[in-house]
Amino acid sequence: MTDIAPSLLSADFAFLSDEIKKVEKGGADYLHLDVMDGIFVPNITFGPPVIKKLKKITSIPFDVHLMIDKPERYIKDFVDAGADILTVHAEATTHLHRTIQEIKSHGIKAGVSLNPATPLSSIEYILEDLDLILIMTVNPGFGGQSFIKSMVDKIIDTRRLIDERNSKILLEIDGGVKLDNALELSKLGVDILVAGSAIFGAEDVVKRTKEFKNLFVK
Ligand code: DX5
Ligand code: ZN
């Protein structure tokens, strides 16, 4: 079963609580929150104070994707804000193993995200410490980009690596996921699909969330 994580990046920021209620009604499994700092990626979004407020209005688990430089500086802030999964980029932190340990010490799930050009081998030796691997299927920074086709091989390799180790690590992909490729991608063994513009760009967000969910009903 594949879970769906609508990315708030494509929501109307003037009506965040209404937007969240819509995906909640549609049956979203997670809410994906993209935090950008204008340094690691060329865009700026929101931080812990906004997430903390949003946490009060919904019970959907928060999947927080940090696209920020040196994320180790802010782990406690995001934990206190209500992150259930906290994912950092392998490219953004020098001591990735230490950063992961720090996240886990707070009792939440720790994820590592890899940019399209970053090899899977960069996390091979810390695999047993991870709860989630987030494969970027676009270059991070913006919603609405096209899925990079060569990432299919990376998804397959990641699934194989997880299975070879008999691990429970969740495999998540992010970027360019649409209604017409979601099922095919889920069949590669993806546990969580992130979809931003495909959900919040729809005229009827509740209906679109349900359409995604229905794809995976066997
Ligand atoms: C991109 C973000 C994504 C983004 C995906 O840097 O990490 O979560 O919202 O947007 P879509 O689904 O429109 O490609
Ligand atoms: Zn994201």
Please report, for the domain that includes residue 136, its CATH number.
Answer: 3.20.20.70
Dump pLDDT digits (tens) for 107-165.
Answer: 999 999 999 999 999 999 999 999 999 999 999 999 999 999 999 999 999 999 999 99
Catalytic residue among 3, 34, 37, 63: 34
CA distance 172 to 155: 9
- pLDDT bin (cut points 50, 70, 90) of residue 46 is very high
What is the distance in A from the centroid of ligand 1 to the CA of 34? 8
Closest by Cα among 22, 31, 24, 32 to 67: 32
* Residue written as token pair 């993806």: 190
Confidence check: pLDDT of 218 > 80: no
Alpha-carbon 121 to chain mean position: 20
For residues 14-27, average pLDDT = 98
For the chain, what is the largest distance between any 2 Cα atoms, rounded to a whole number of angstroms? 45
Q: Please name the amino acid found at residue 54.
A: L
- pLDDT bin (cut points 50, 70, 90) of residue 217 is confident
CA distance 183 to 159: 16
For residues 191-210, average pLDDT = 98
Domain of 49 in residue numbering reads as 3-214
Confidence check: pLDDT of 10 > 90: yes
> What are the pocket residues of ligand 1 if the criterion is a CB atom closer than 6 Å to any ligand atom?
7, 9-10, 32, 34, 65, 138, 140-141, 143-145, 174-177, 194-198
End-to-end distance of the chain based on CA atoms, in angstroms?
Answer: 9
CA distance 182 to 72: 32
Verify whether residue 18 is a known catalytic residue. no
For residues 98-106, average pLDDT = 98
What is the distance in A from the centroid of ligand 1 to the CA of 32? 9
For residues 41-64, average pLDDT = 98
Verify whether residue 191 is a known catalytic residue. no
Which pLDDT score, from 0 to 100, does residue 200 have?
Answer: 98
The percentage of residues in the chain with a pLDDT greater than 90, rounded to a whole number, is 98
Q: Which atom of ligand 1 is nearest to the CA of 177?
A: 12
Which pLDDT score, from 0 to 100, does residue 106 have?
Answer: 98
Whether residue 83 contacts residue 62, with contact meaning beta carbons closer than 8 Å, is answered with yes
Based on the structure, what is the number of domains in the chain?
1
For residues 5-11, average pLDDT = 98
Catalytic residue among 29, 37, 63, 174: 174
